[in-house]
Amino acid sequence: MVDITHKITTLREATAEAIVKTSSQATIDAIQNNEVPKGNVFEMAKAAGLLGVKKTPDLLPDCHPLPIEYTGIDYEIDGLDIIISTTVKTIYKTGVEVEAMHGASVVALTMYDMLKPIDKSVEIGTIRLKSKKGGKSSYKLNSEGLTADVVVCSDTISKGKGEDRAGEAIVEKLKVLGVASQKSIIPDDAGEIIKKVENTTADLLIFTGGTGVGPRDVTPQTLEPMLDIKLKGVEEQMRSYGQNRMPYAMFSRSIAGIKNGKLILALPGSTKGAAESMDAIFPHVLHAFKVIEGKRHD
């Protein structure tokens, strides 16, 4: 099963469609007049469809079990065709396209089973995904032309006594996003941090290290007074994401804010902490540049 532990939870929605084709108006009349021998077609098929949505991960091996928080099944009669629309919603890490399509399929199969005694030519037509939203494709952000400075704050690494992995992890994640970046290493020193902020020409300045509670962890208290705007929601998202994965994340003092139109972040110095903080807020945090330009939220 595909690993989705790095993903963030969002509202996901998908609508699927299936078509049941009858061969005569008599079949349609029997459905509408509740005269089908096996019972009320619409109600029976709807009940089956609800079960189909819930049972999707039991039948499809790579489908993740997830909380189904809404399922809506609607019908439309178009001539001799019955158009089935199934909408599924969840607040989770992965989408519900397969659940919606499976639900629509089960509705169609139930209708077929109930109608075949009175219509030997009934058949199931197209089953397709009509729409989906809430995943990565719903929050497309243009990172073209954006640049980043990645700054590793570490006494040990700056003295050549340790190897940087956190900074490299950040650089790799920026590369995937299409953001050009360069990396530098400085000691845990307030003066050096201030110089980086004052001299950067990049759109995005990311510090890693010095966000804990040790005697040399000075990154947050150095950066905070320099920010024009603090992005508290971004900070909360990083800590919440980390806390869901390991208890010590509560000690992180990660920082996010804006100065002179530039986005400034301070992430943990551990490789895992830095990588998880990136997963927590990217690519969505790049929306800040759209807002900085004065454009409205979508």
Which DSSP string do the residues of 193-206 spell out, in sequence order?
HHHHHHH--SSEEE
Helical packing angle, 271-281 and 166-177, nearest 10°: 30
Q: What is the DSSP letter of 219?
A: H
**Peptide linkage before 283 cis (omega within 30 of 0):** yes
| pTM of the complete model | 0.79
The structure tokens listed for 267 are 């992430």
Secondary-structure breakdown of the chain: helix, strand, coil percentages, each rounded to the nearest 5: 40, 25, 35
The one-digit pLDDT tens for each residue of the chain (298 residues) are: 999 998 989 999 999 999 999 999 999 999 999 999 999 999 999 999 999 999 999 999 999 999 999 999 999 999 999 999 999 999 999 999 999 999 999 999 999 999 999 999 999 999 999 999 987 777 767 788 899 999 999 999 999 999 999 999 999 999 999 999 999 999 999 999 999 999 999 999 999 999 988 889 999 999 999 999 999 999 999 999 999 998 988 899 999 999 999 999 999 999 999 999 999 999 999 999 888 776 555 5
Q: What is the pLDDT of residue 14?
A: 98
* Apex 298 CA angle, 93 and 204, nearest 5: 75
Instruction: Return d(Cα 5, Cα 31) in angstroms, integer.
Output: 46
Q: What is the pLDDT of residue 290?
A: 83
* Residue 23 and residue 122 in contact, taking contact as beta carbons nearer than 8 Å: yes
Q: What is the DSSP letter of 188?
A: S
Instruction: Return d(Cα 38, Cα 115) in angstroms, integer.
Output: 8
Which sequence positions are flagged as catalytic? 113
